Amino acid sequence: MDSYMVEPAKSGRSLCKVSKEVIEKGELRFGSLVEFGGRASYQWRKLSCITPKVASNVVAKVGGPDRVSGFDALSPKQKVQFLKAFKAAEKQSKAAKETKSSKEVMKTTKKPAEVVKTTKKTTRMS
């Protein structure tokens, strides 16, 4: 079995690993191969639930979304839909990196926090 698979859902019984929503029959789904108990199966997710990490793993393992098993069997419209989902995940990744780097810049430009002194009142017991 291949590490990743894309296909139209064969039935309306599979659930998205991320959103826990039903993947309707005919809706494109993306699967990651998982092995447990000596068996292998795909964990399916909706295209909208493809994360930047998953997208980078696909590029690292198979060379890109166009090399995922099942891609060649998709219709031209489905191929465009699948590729758009990966581009959206990559944009999320770039946006997250930009946000992170801008936060780092803000951290380095902040003034040191002022130290606030507190005093305790002591009371005498008679």
Could you tell me what percent of the chain has a pLDDT over 70? 74
Whole-angstrom Cα distance, residue 29 to residue 74? Answer: 11
Structure tokens at 107: 């951290």
Amino acid 75: pLDDT: 97
- Is residue 85 within 8 A of residue 48, CB to CB? The reply is yes
Of 57, 43, 67, 45, the closest CA to residue 90 belongs to: 57
Q: Is the pLDDT of residue 9 over 60?
A: yes
Cα 58 to Cα 20, 36, 42, 86, 87, distances in angstroms = 22, 21, 14, 10, 12
Whole-angstrom Cα distance, residue 66 to residue 76? Answer: 12
Q: What pTM was computed for the model? A: 0.74
Whole-angstrom Cα distance, residue 42 to residue 54? Answer: 14
Q: Is the pLDDT of residue 63 over 60?
A: yes
- Give the CA dihedral 44, 83, 64, 99, nearest 10 degrees: -90
Q: Please report which confidence band the pLDDT of residue 92 belongs to, taking 50, 70 and 90 as the band edges.
A: confident
Report angle CA 59, 100, 19 to the nearest 5 degrees: 55
